[in-house]
Structure 1
């Protein structure tokens, strides 16, 4: 066989699902009756060990990088060829679902196994990468593994502590890693061809459209901040309503105003107030101060910036009418992450080839791919989430969708040389 042929593995999707389910139970969870697999915890280390075995069985050499990312490599037709990275994360939130992150890793393993079992070597290497801390569910910095691989600055993180007081330095030492060498996880750009991540949608859009898969055009940027409102505490029974400077009432009006502002925007813009606090928090005291978290998301950077200014104008207007003070604190910005248009089209053509309706979505959730888009050509493939449920034990997938995703990914790998104009011979059999 001198040219690549259509690869069919009817059990690939079911096997990927079974392995995700296997990793949802002890010893791969640090909680009873549910899944919690935090970065470098006992369950995470057990999952890494099992994953290394699956990678080896699929025909890969396996290593763990200085940030704790498990990397399986299947060499190309020529040694040391640049690699297509295929991956996601294997950590989880507290009481999370089995498929968030892990399914993308298992599909990567299946893709490599399909080529390896046929002895097919490509003009590039295939590497399956399993990042360990995308969720940030143990330490207060998400996507540490993908940040490190892409050479993003992380600062001095060695003394970050988890809820038990353990530092990142201690956690890494317990896994045989050295936090001082984390910078060595950075990969040379010339060694990486592109990055592909398959992931459940984590929302209801594909199910609503009765579509199994979608190509992702971009990952939404995020602005997060707190609005602090300062009023005047007082006796709940003696201060007339007309004379009150109720911080909580002002904050509640701000919440509804932010929601109305978001509804007036384009479809891919969302705003969320996820947390609100009032002080002193007594039933018979007018709240003297309040704070609310605000998060806005869009794939359009200009839209995000305009919306941030609109939120500030809204908050200032409400505060002025209600005679309360206000300020914005802890402002964080994550830029939108557009996927590579050529690779988006390649995924779309693969979806069409499977006879499925073609959809393109913006990801509202953050993913490791966010760390890759400004570094290497990046693509994401979404799988439908039944019920739109994720980060929850009821998270699920449809095996037929997973099988279809496998087929689309194999098509992506097979056609990548023509899309990126790789000047090397087509895959050979060894």
Structure 2
């Protein structure tokens, strides 16, 4: 059964021409043909969910299988959670509800229109995550943030060691094109919560829940959404509003940076898997055609020619010069979604302390080469880097390269730096 109407599938030329190729690649490579989606979806769930993702990977043979198989896995987890809840086994129940919510979000990904199936997955995802929040081992608070006559949904997580009366620092997390808000905090051992830092995660303009509410991506949408989010967060008495940071992932590298420049109280901004390129030329024209089709859905466009003009305004040009806080970028040297030159262009504009942590030979989402396997975890590195900024530790502008043995080589950034094709002769 098709997951999208033929009308949607025919919105872009490359998707029409390469649809048969797409199915054959999925049959050959598997569900991770476009990026490591199993990696980033499994990560917050933990090793206990490995079997769910392996079964999905084994059963997906074509594009239209993706939603069905993730949805089936999610239903199984939800059913288990409800049985455990009736037995009052609330710890096991919350684990199953959490995993179900993540799986429902994965089932939504390949559906680029508000179909009945997409809306049902959305309903179930929200139900399961709300049940998880009810039984979680820390405070998880739902947010509905007023935005342009509608509301943006989000979740605030307080650290597991939070004590009544404390005021804790917090990080606003901005996901990319393919990540739901629910995916941004781990079930157990979250990097920020474990360090005593609260996390706020939300679906901004164009992202999963917001897209279904017809809140679409615009050139300035995340500036305004960020301001609205900060108004809500400043009403939460548990938070220290003198210690605020932003973390962005993939397309969230632009959106998160937009939020960081919109409020002088933000003390640090860190992004992973940067995607700064004007018009997303590499991702939309040189990689899987599903990315462009998804972003058209996120921005509310149905005409490819009009979309091509709009997307030119989604870029990071001039953004770095507006930053007033320290800035970290974690990237792969061979990023297959965005030109590496765009990373250097942004960083050269920044006058505040900055660091580029570049993994040798890695692609967009890392986790495929020895540099990331043996080097520092990007998420732990980001969490420690932000924690250091909250503590006021000094920082110098550096260019850091993780080699194939996992060792970090650091150089001073200098006044202006260009990418030297084929990094220095290190292992």
- Report the TM-score, using the length of structure 1 for normalisation: 0.37
More strand per residue: 1 or 2? 1
Q: Which has the larger radius of gyration?
A: 1
More helix per residue: 1 or 2? 2
